[in-house]
Amino acid sequence: MAERDMIEVKGLRVVAGAAPGPVTEIVKGVDFSVKKGEVLALIGESGSGKTTIALSLLGYARAGCAISGGSVRVGEVEVLSLDAKGRRALRARTVAYVAQSASAGFNPARTIMDQVIEPALLHRLMSKEAASAKAIGLFRSLALPAPETIGERYPHQVSGGQLQRLMAAMALITDPAVVVFDEPTTALDVTTQIEVLAAFKKVIRELGTTAVYVSHDLAVVAQMADRIVVLNGGAVKENGAVAQVLDAPVDAYTRQLLAATRRPEAVLTLPQNLGKHVPPLLEIRGLSAGYGRIDRQGAPAVRVLDDVSLSIPRGSTLGVIGESGSGKTTLARVVAGLVDRARGEVLFNGEPLNAQISRRTPEQYRQIQIVFQNADTALNPSHSIADILGRPLAFYHHLRGSAAKKRMLDLLDLVKLPASIATRTPAGLSGGQKQRVNLARALAAEPALILCDEVTSALDTVVGAAILDLLAELRRELGVSYMFISHDISTVRAICDEVIVLYAGHRVEAGQREVLAAPPYHPYTGLLVDSVPALKPGWLDARRDIVATALPAMGESADIAELCSFRARCPVRIDGKCNVTPPSLKKLPSGAEILCHHPAAELNRLQTVEATPA
Amino acid sequence: MMSQPTNPHHVPHAGTELYDVRRDELVVEPAPVEVAPLKQGVFKRLVHRFSVLGLIGLLMVAFWLLVAFIGPLVAPYKGGALTSTEIFGRYSAAYPLGTDYLGRDMLSRILYGARYTVGLALAAAVLASVIGTFFGLLAAVSGRVVDEILSRLFDALISIPSKVLALVVIAAFGSSIPMLTTVAAAAYIPGAFRISRSLAVNVMSLEYVQVARARGEGIFYIARVEVLPNMIHPMLADFGLRFVFIVLLLSGLSFLGLGVQPPNADWGSLVRENIGGLSEGAPAVLMPAIAIATLTIGMNLLIDNLRRRSRKHGGA
């Protein structure tokens, strides 16, 4: 009996739609099993049925879906044969669930502690005092700051990564035999993701919990799981140990997934030098911008960008990297004219670009196009694809009738979409198709510069890789320039010639793409680079030792706005320097410019030591 | 009330018409045939998408709209004609819905009154919704100054109780059809403005509107092409609600004697002038009340259905 698997799923089938209407099978006979104390990863793109399968472990099917066949056994319980009361008991003690969005999972009106211990109190498993004591223990294991008092706070008073860990504490409070993690780090920044993953891994190991980890990110899964089940279209493509799936994949789909993750760096033909006198396509000097009321000095109440400078030569691609809140999207919006700037100059083709969008020339409108991250909200749901693409053609090029139709079909062809989708509305397209339409709309203007705001972030790995290939191809064929905004270093590396790194609105580093490849770099760039999970098991464990080291002590900061914005998190900060004097611009041997007090040689020494832990 | 003798020779329309309302609630199938030819394609699709309750609402509203148009043509007697010596008469073959306090045929009174109630309310509701939506959109797409001015203006209007305003205006200027329409519309414009503005502000923050702005589109294009189609469904639902409120407001005004003036009468006035028959349980007070109730209930069923649909389809 002891050797029996903890979870056993056999021939699981889930259908969408009720019996009289059309029924679609979304999970087509899935088998897998998980041993006690093992972590199994379910991996696949959206629509592959991974979340549906994970939820069936709780005996739950989302509204509109029904479990139509197969068996699910957790421990000694046949989950699918339980009645409503039995399922409630199952969810109380045996299986717990950690959802993707922790901010949506917490009630903002109650303290965290109340909510973390709620499952235990609701099912009368322990007293309030015992549950609170246990929760504090869990907070400590999850490496949360101030474990004794964090429970007294409200959800909006902790960060996203902390909230995700608190959600795990909520799931673990009842000592469940199995925990289901449903994409728990997908919505987080890379630097935060690392902390959360490390905390999850530690607590799973300490408690010996059996876990099912749902993700679309192979590199993350490689750190967390013992075994991987690769899903596609509701069926199991491959099921094996992590090392086997990563190193010797059997299935063609797994190989495709791996190829999309391990993108080779694109061989970029550096933009031909058109002579020194040609001004760059876009040049920004000392830009400051923000939101809210403008004060007497002309600075907005909330400063999002502070003294940012950059330039994009014609035909090249600039990557803008930073975590959420670093001001990257605002940067694109300022260039597009959607956000007013407080200070600084924006030159387009050597001519100043008016801050007010209404005062720009039609030619400037046409040459700068913006592509937003979320194609769901970037396409008007009440227009057909033909209308969406037809408008810029009519607006900029005065194309109508058959000429417009021909051009529209050309555009669809350019982004590799079939002509037949022209009559559909965005609701009838998949995420990747919508993003292509989104791109095609920008291309319809025949722009010189496309501002790409996280265009691949909302897409699956394979689809995202295809969009990146498309962008590179369009650039070769049409000679457009991109400002490519992303939080994902590997994406930026794959497509960009030059890179700037933003932190809290400051440009902390700027240089060629190669600056991301090896130290020395700005301490924040270093943190970003080190936080991208590598596609090999054990990477996280090696990395954790580095994270664990405490930050050097630093005294009170002087009241100067220009101080290094990264000093609060910097692992190599210097007391008496970083908190007193603003950093000056330094040039590294690689040609990159950074804002830091450390000389290049010193950074190189520090970061090389970091990368190879003893 | 139940023992209604239908004499097909004498009052062919009356019997069928009242029956229709009831029968529609039970039998859904045959009815669309008589309405469908109006707008074949659109209507067929609508009918397919509606639930049974929505269809019932649709039929009730369509029935009263039809009555508003052809009511006087099919009425057995002239609208204000004194036809019987019996006041507050019961249901009879000659007077299917009885007679009123002067001995007039109640059925004819209701058929004539439908024109005032439905027509006036419809005109006022269309006016209120169109004007409210226009200003709401304008406030949302224009700059902050225009938005502030419009919003505060309509806030000021909202702060005046609509019924009291209507009473004062009508007492001052006298009651006429255009005046009643204007007053009813004015009372409900601020509400329509508020709703359309908040809907439009939500849509304005979406990225496709940002794309249109970055493309260099003017505010009227953005309002008309990008924003309006995505808020039209909630606005239609709101229109339906407003229509019902206006029917009730007009009926209320008529009940107070400030609405449509005698000898013409909308349904509200019919209830008021026959209120004396209430103690006898006269059909003369019951029937106009039922007419008001079926119209408002029908409209509400229709709206609920529209709203559910628009939520499901996300304005698509």
For residues B96-121, average pLDDT: 82
Chain B residues whose C-beta is within 8 A of a chain A C-beta are 206-208, 210-211, 213-217, 225-226, 229-230, 314-316
Percent of chain A with pLDDT over 70: 94
User: Which of B144, B211, B213, B221 is the best residue to mutate to test the A interface, defined by the most A CB atoms within 10 Å of its own CB?
Assistant: B211
CB atoms closer than 10 angstroms to residue B209:
23
pLDDT surpassing 50 at residue A141? yes
Whether residue A378 and residue B208 make contact (CB cut-off 8 A), yes or no, is yes
Q: Which residues of B touch A365 (CB under 8 A)?
A: 214-216
More confident residue, A499 or B252: A499
Whether residue A395 and residue B316 make contact (CB cut-off 8 A), yes or no, is no
Whether residue A380 and residue B210 make contact (CB cut-off 8 A), yes or no, is no
Shortest Cα distance, chain A CAs vs residue B26, angstroms: 24
Q: What is the pLDDT of residues B20-58, one digit of tens each?
A: 333 333 333 333 334 434 445 666 666 566 678 888 888
Q: What is the pLDDT of residues B157-183, one digit of tens each?
A: 888 887 788 888 888 888 788 888 888
Whether residue A338 and residue B206 make contact (CB cut-off 8 A), yes or no, is no
The DSSP letter of residue A351 is E
Asked if omega into B263 is within 30° of 0 (cis), the reply is yes
Chain-centre distance for alpha carbon A438 = 19
Shortest Cα distance, chain A CAs vs residue B208, angstroms: 4
For residues A128-156, average pLDDT: 88
With CA atoms as reference, the chain A residue closest to B230 would be A382
Q: Residue holding tokens 């002579």?
A: A275
| ∠ Cα A591 A593 A598 (to 5°) | 110
Q: Which residues of B touch A336 (CB under 8 A)?
A: 210, 214
With CA atoms as reference, the chain B residue closest to A360 would be B216
| ∠ Cα A393 A396 A398 (to 5°) | 65
Q: What is the pLDDT of residue B199?
A: 93
> Between the CA of residue A343 and those of A312, A318, B44, what are the distances in Å?
20, 22, 59
Between A and B, how many CB-CB pairs are < 8 A?
A: 59
Whether residue A357 and residue B316 make contact (CB cut-off 8 A), yes or no, is no
More confident residue, A156 or B310: A156
CA dist A451 and A329 (Å) reads 10
- pLDDT band for A124, please (50, 70, 90 cuts): confident
Tokens of A367: 């040459």
Whether residue B214 and residue A370 make contact (CB cut-off 8 A), yes or no, is yes
Shortest Cα distance, chain A CAs vs residue B313, angstroms: 9
For residues A56-82, average pLDDT: 85
**Among candidates B207, B213, B216 on the partner chain, residue whose Cβ is nearest the Cβ of A372:** B207
Q: What is the pLDDT of residues A242-254, one digit of tens each?
A: 888 888 888 888 8
For residues B70-78, average pLDDT: 79
Q: What is the pLDDT of residues B243-292, one digit of tens each?
A: 888 888 887 887 787 877 777 788 877 887 888 888 887 788 888 888 88
**Secondary structure of A507-564 as H, E, C letters:** EEEEEEHHHHCCCCCCHHHHHHHHHCCCCCCCHHHHHHHHHHCCCCCCCCCCCCCCCC
Q: What is the pLDDT of residue A466?
A: 84
Local structure of A342: helix, strand or coil: strand
The DSSP letter of residue B120 is I
With CA atoms as reference, the chain B residue closest to A371 would be B211
Q: Which residues of B touch A360 (CB under 8 A)?
A: 216
Tokens of A289: 């911008």
**Cβ atoms of residues A146 and A158 within 8 Å:** no
For residues A18-23, average pLDDT: 68
Shortest Cα distance, chain B CAs vs residue A298, angstroms: 19
pLDDT averaged over chain A?
A: 84
Q: What is the pLDDT of residue A193?
A: 85
ipTM of predicted assembly, 2 dp = 0.75
Packed helices B177-204 and B121-141: angle between N→C axes, nearest 10 degrees: 30
Whether residue A383 and residue B229 make contact (CB cut-off 8 A), yes or no, is yes
Q: What is the pLDDT of residue A211?
A: 92
| ∠ Cα A37 A43 A45 (to 5°) | 160
CA dist B64 and B252 (Å) reads 19
Q: Which of A282, A278, A225, A228 is nearest to A253 (CA)?
A: A228
- pLDDT band for B79, please (50, 70, 90 cuts): low
Shortest Cα distance, chain A CAs vs residue B160, angstroms: 33
CA dist B259 and A569 (Å) reads 73
What is the number of helices (H) and of strands (E) in chain B?
A: 14, 0
pLDDT surpassing 50 at residue A394? yes
With CA atoms as reference, the chain B residue closest to A358 would be B216
Q: What is the pLDDT of residue B194?
A: 92
Whether residue B207 and residue A362 make contact (CB cut-off 8 A), yes or no, is no
Q: What is the pLDDT of residues A178-213, one digit of tens each?
A: 999 988 887 778 888 888 888 888 888 888 889 999
**Among candidates A374, A378, A392 on the partner chain, residue whose Cβ is nearest the Cβ of B215:** A392
**Among candidates B210, B211, B316 on the partner chain, residue whose Cβ is nearest the Cβ of A425:** B316
pLDDT surpassing 90 at residue A450? yes
Sequence-ordered alpha helix ranges (H) in A248-372: 252-261, 328-336, 362-367
Q: Report yes or no: A154 at the B interface, CB cutoff 8 Å.
A: no
CA dist A315 and A454 (Å) reads 20
DSSP bridge partners of A74:
A7, A77
pLDDT surpassing 90 at residue B296? no
Q: What is the pLDDT of residue A547?
A: 57
The DSSP letter of residue A485 is E
Q: What is the pLDDT of residue B151?
A: 92
With CA atoms as reference, the chain B residue closest to A370 would be B211
pLDDT surpassing 60 at residue B75? yes
- Kindly tell me the burial class for residue B29, based on how many C-beta atoms sit within 10 Å of its own C-beta (0-12, 13-18, 19 or more): exposed
Q: Which residues of A touch B217 (CB under 8 A)?
A: 395
Q: What is the pLDDT of residues B199-243, one digit of tens each?
A: 999 998 888 998 898 888 888 899 988 999 888 888 888 888 888
**Cβ atoms of residues A289 and A300 within 8 Å:** yes
Whether residue A362 and residue B216 make contact (CB cut-off 8 A), yes or no, is yes
Whether residue A378 and residue B211 make contact (CB cut-off 8 A), yes or no, is yes
Shortest Cα distance, chain B CAs vs residue A362, angstroms: 7
Q: What is the pLDDT of residues B125-169, one digit of tens each?
A: 989 999 999 999 999 988 889 999 999 999 998 888 877 888 888
Whether residue A369 and residue B216 make contact (CB cut-off 8 A), yes or no, is no
- pLDDT band for B4, please (50, 70, 90 cuts): very low
For residues A465-489, average pLDDT: 88
**Cβ atoms of residues A39 and A47 within 8 Å:** no
For residues A160-166, average pLDDT: 86
Q: What is the pLDDT of residues A112-123, one digit of tens each?
A: 999 999 988 888
User: Which of B208, B232, B233 is the best residue to mutate to test the A interface, defined by the most A CB atoms within 10 Å of its own CB?
Assistant: B208
Element (H, E) at B302: helix B283-313
Shortest Cα distance, chain B CAs vs residue A306, angstroms: 23
Element (H, E) at B314: none
Q: What is the pLDDT of residues A577-608, one digit of tens each?
A: 888 888 888 888 877 888 888 888 888 887 77
CB atoms closer than 10 angstroms to residue B248:
14
**Cβ atoms of residues A566 and A521 within 8 Å:** no
Whether residue A445 and residue B215 make contact (CB cut-off 8 A), yes or no, is yes
Q: What is the pLDDT of residue A484?
A: 93
Return the sign of the alpha-carbon dihedral for residues B114, B120, B125, B127.
positive
- Strand A24-34 to strand A7-16: parallel, antiparallel, or no bridges (unpaired)? antiparallel
CA dist B46 and B32 (Å) reads 11
pTM here is: 0.76
**Among candidates B206, B213, B315 on the partner chain, residue whose Cβ is nearest the Cβ of A357:** B213
Q: What is the pLDDT of residues A320-374, one digit of tens each?
A: 998 877 888 889 989 988 888 888 889 998 888 888 888 888 888 899 999 988 8
**Cβ atoms of residues A570 and A578 within 8 Å:** yes
Whether residue A381 and residue B214 make contact (CB cut-off 8 A), yes or no, is no
pLDDT surpassing 70 at residue A8? yes
Q: Which of residues 386-445 of A touch B (CB under 8 A)?
A: 391-392, 395, 425, 427, 441, 445
Chain-centre distance for alpha carbon A533 = 12
DSSP per-residue string spanning A376-408: HHHS-TTS-HHHHHHHHHHHHH---HHHHHHHH
CB neighbour list of residue A122: distance below 8 Å, 6 or more residues apart? A92
**Cβ atoms of residues A186 and A156 within 8 Å:** no
With CA atoms as reference, the chain B residue closest to A334 would be B214
Q: Which residues of A touch B208 (CB under 8 A)?
A: 377-380
Q: What is the pLDDT of residue A230?
A: 92
Asked if omega into A20 is within 30° of 0 (cis), the reply is no
Q: What is the pLDDT of residues A501-554, one digit of tens each?
A: 998 888 888 988 887 777 788 888 888 888 888 877 778 877 766 555 667 777
